[in-house]
Structure 1
Amino acid sequence: MFSKTMLVLVLPVAMALLAGAVLPFQAAANAAVGRTLGHWLWGAFASLTVSSLVVIAALLVLRVPAPDMGKALQGPWWLWIGGVLGAMYVAAAAALTHKLGAAGFLVLVVAGQIITAVLADHFGVMGLGGKPLSLARLAGVVLILCGMLLVQGNWGAGPAASSTAAVKQPEG
């Protein structure tokens, strides 16, 4: 079957693919619950509340020891920004997925991630090891942006082919 070395290599890749695979459903659910509750911010709040409850349950079930908060409070200022950025992503998903479609929203998210990641690598921010911007990496970013345009575009298709036109919006 799989050797331990193979499993160490395959498991993170499989987990990352699964994490990416669930994002269209998360974005669609956040948008739908936001519409149902009357505002996209309620959709974001509902999503983050459920997420918090799931993480709390996992901490309890797995009996994860309490963190050393003193040590964490001595860390750099950006140590805590992940929650703010996560909330921004969830709110954007709730606000924009029904307008852009799941593919449209996520291809723009991926384009933003790649551009920012290449810059973060280049400048070595937030403890990342510096990886200089090269012509090959820049070409990769350009190709991703071209792919984003192809996925988001409505090249000659009628209005029924639009991701937003095909979705029946609930009344209210």
Structure 2
Amino acid sequence: MGTLQWAGLLLLAALAGAVVPFQSALNLNLARGLGHPLWATMVSLVVSVLVLLPVIVALRLPLPSLTQTGMPPLWMWTGGAFGVCFVGLAVVLLPRLGASGFVALALAGQVMSSMVLDHFGWFGLAEKHLTMPRLAGAALLIAGVVLIQFGEGAGKPVAAAG
């Protein structure tokens, strides 16, 4: 993979992370408007489907053929439940932790669980064993989370008006 391709992938990964606080803040306001975080979670996921369907049609993707490839094991279908968990918890936690606190803690959780997934090569991932530099990186991330959430000037979390 060339340097330009690699840089493009890094940029896309950063963009994927950059949209998370916007999604969470928008869903928080939607929850306020709809009266409950679970309604906002439902609407968010329905909108996701409505946005994705035209893209699938535009790309002319064929329907998956479960008869040819076989039915995937049931555990493979559970990814959506994790999406519901993330979106729902973001709506509940964002007003209490703030956008930076929530994203920092979510990122720390993602990095730690990712390191476990990589270490054991679960779900077909390539094994990337825990090393001292990787553990040090995780420790620095946790230190960053603490500073973001509890450092001087962080103040007490307050529910936003509105």
Aligned residue for 1:68? 65
Alignment equivalent of 2:158, drawn from 119, 140, 164: 164
Structure 2 distance, partners of 1:71, 1:88, is 32
For structure 2, the 5+ residue unaligned runs are none
Structure 2 distance, partners of 1:34, 1:136, is 41
Structure 1 distance, partners of 2:29, 2:69, is 36
Name the Cα RMSD after superposition. 2.0
Matched residue pairs, number? 162
Alignment equivalent of 2:103, drawn from 101, 106, 110: 106
- State the secondary structure of the residue aligned to 1:109: helix
Structure 2 distance, partners of 1:44, 1:55, is 17
Q: Are 1:29 and 2:26 an aligned pair?
A: yes
Structure 2 distance, partners of 1:140, 1:71, is 43
Structure 2 distance, partners of 1:63, 1:164, is 47
The residue correspondences of 1:77-156 to structure 2 (distance < 5 A) are 77-155=74-152
Structure 2 distance, partners of 1:89, 1:123, is 23
Structure 1 distance, partners of 2:70, 2:98, is 40
Whether the 8 Å contact between 1:107 and 1:148 is mirrored in structure 2 is yes
Structure 1 distance, partners of 2:89, 2:73, is 26
**CA 1:148–1:39: 2 relative to 1, 3 Å:** same
Whether the 8 Å contact between 1:154 and 1:162 is mirrored in structure 2 is no
Structure 1 distance, partners of 2:74, 2:158, is 40
> Normalized against structure 1, the TM-score is what?
0.85
User: What percent of counterpart residues are identical?
Assistant: 39
> Normalized against structure 2, the TM-score is what?
0.89
For structure 1, the 5+ residue unaligned runs are none
1:66 Cα deviation after fit: 1.1
Q: Deviations over 1:89-112 (max 9, x none)?
A: 111111111111111111111000
Structure 2 distance, partners of 1:136, 1:53, is 42
The letter for the 1-side match of 2:93 is L
